Amino acid sequence: MPTAYISHPACRRHDMGAGHPECPQRLDAIEDWLLTSGIDVALQRHEAVEVRPADLELAHTHRYVAELSETLQGLAATGESRAMDPDTVAGPHTWAAALRAAGAAVQATDLVIDGEAENAFCAVRPPGHHATRDQTMGFCFFNNLAVAARHALDVRGLKRVAIVDFDVHHGNGTEDIVAGDERILMVSIFQDPLYPYCGAVPKGENMVNLPVPAYTRGGEVREMIEAQWMPALEAFKPEMIFISAGFDAHREDDLGQLGLVEADYEWITQRVMSVAQRHSKGRIVSCLEGGYALGALARSVGVHLRTLAGV
């Protein structure tokens, strides 16, 4: 079966202003790499659908969904922009992009569960892993991956899923949503201290948080993953795996100070796939999170996709 690649033009139109690192050009860089590498022919392309409010409320409170929806729709109508926090700006195109970003994650989940794709990658923005149950933060509005994971459990009937997060920043929003949910195992590795300045102490027994200091390189990261992620994932036996695929731990990315390179992302993807092949029928859904050095982002997404697609 093919690897599904899901995106939408609306995700590019979301713009938080000149000079903001979470910029539309991130998706352009990935698309350019796909075209020049030739891997595009190995992917099954899909346009992202809009997420349903009922799916958003699997991860977020009803009040948060209603209030954020009203705010973003209002900005779409007036053409204005609004700072939601010091780092996160909503504009006239944010509503459409947020619907498609979360919708892509749910759509990918259905494609993979239904056997129409072996795995999937969602090239979407805005990202999601800092969005908590009831708060917008860190460039994120809806928690795309948490919505998809809960959809797999609550709508599609899976019993156990795992979330893997290798963004340089701790996925505090995802942790806020899934901590204590025994149906979900979340494993993550992130620079500490670094925004959002939490995660060193997990919020639930279903969390395996690996904070690492600045300038940690790939070899040390691999050792920690092998020693702590892998036994937990093997024991949990997830029926599906979701990846918060942030590539800002790359040594060229200025938003963090870790030392990963493309080969490390390839290795991490291979190790996650090995668990999926043993326990999850190969089922993986990966969603773009961080990654702000455009060249490094494109190359890193490239090896991630090549590994997922087996080419």
CA 127 to chain centre: 7
Provide the whole-model pTM: 0.97
Question: For residues 278 and 268, is the Cβ–Cβ distance under 8 A?
Answer: no
Mean pLDDT of 267-281: 98
Does residue 10 sit in helix, strand or coil?
helix
203: left (phi over 0), alpha (psi -120 to 50) or beta: alpha
Query: If you ran DSSP here, which 8-state letter would residue 48 be given?
Result: P
Query: If you ran DSSP here, which 8-state letter would residue 201 be given?
Result: S
Residue 139 reports pLDDT greater than 90: yes
The single residue listed with the structure tokens 């505090």 is 172
Q: Round the CA-based radius of gyration of the chain to a whole number and report it.
A: 17
Residue 275, CB-side half-sphere exposure with 13 Å CA sphere: 28
Sequential DSSP letters for 124-173: -SS--TT--SS--BTTBSS-HHHHHHHIIIIIT--S-EEEEE--SS--HH
User: For position 1, what pLDDT does the model report?
Assistant: 81
| CA–CA separation, 7 and 104 (whole Å) | 7
The single residue listed with the structure tokens 């993953």 is 225
Residue spans per domain, the chain = 3-309
User: For position 40, what pLDDT does the model report?
Assistant: 85
310: left (phi over 0), alpha (psi -120 to 50) or beta: left
Query: If you ran DSSP here, which 8-state letter would residue 59 be given?
Result: T
| CA–CA separation, 276 and 219 (whole Å) | 23
Mean pLDDT of 67-73: 98
The single residue listed with the structure tokens 């701790």 is 170
pLDDT tier at 41 (50, 70, 90 boundaries)?
confident
* Residue 70 CB contacts under 8 Å (≥ 6 apart), including other chains: none
Structure tokens at 140: 């994120």
- Angstrom CA distances, 171 to 211, 222, 260, 273, 303, stand at 11, 19, 18, 21, 22
User: What is the end-to-end Cα distance of the chain in Å, rounded?
Assistant: 13
Could you tell me how many residues make up the chain? Answer: 311
If 0-12 CB within 10 Å is exposed, 13-18 middle and 19+ buried, where does residue 115 land?
exposed
pLDDT tier at 38 (50, 70, 90 boundaries)?
confident
Average pLDDT across the chain, whole number: 97
Give the other-Cβ count within 10 Å of 13's Cβ: 16
CATH of domain 3-309: 3.40.800.20
User: For position 11, what pLDDT does the model report?
Assistant: 98
Mean pLDDT of 187-203: 97
Structure tokens at 203: 């919020």
Instruction: State yes or no: is 250 an active-site residue.
Output: no
Q: Report pLDDT digits (tens) over 147-159.
A: 999 999 999 999 9
Q: Report pLDDT digits (tens) over 282-308.
A: 999 999 999 999 999 999 999 999 999
Of the residues 60, 130, 151, 279, only one is catalytic, namely 130
| CA–CA separation, 134 and 61 (whole Å) | 6
Residue 269 reports pLDDT greater than 90: yes
Report the percentage of the chain scoring pLDDT > 70: 100
- Angstrom CA distances, 125 to 128, 129, 237, 250, stand at 8, 11, 30, 19
Q: Report pLDDT digits (tens) over 90-102.
A: 999 999 999 999 9
| CA–CA separation, 164 and 209 (whole Å) | 10
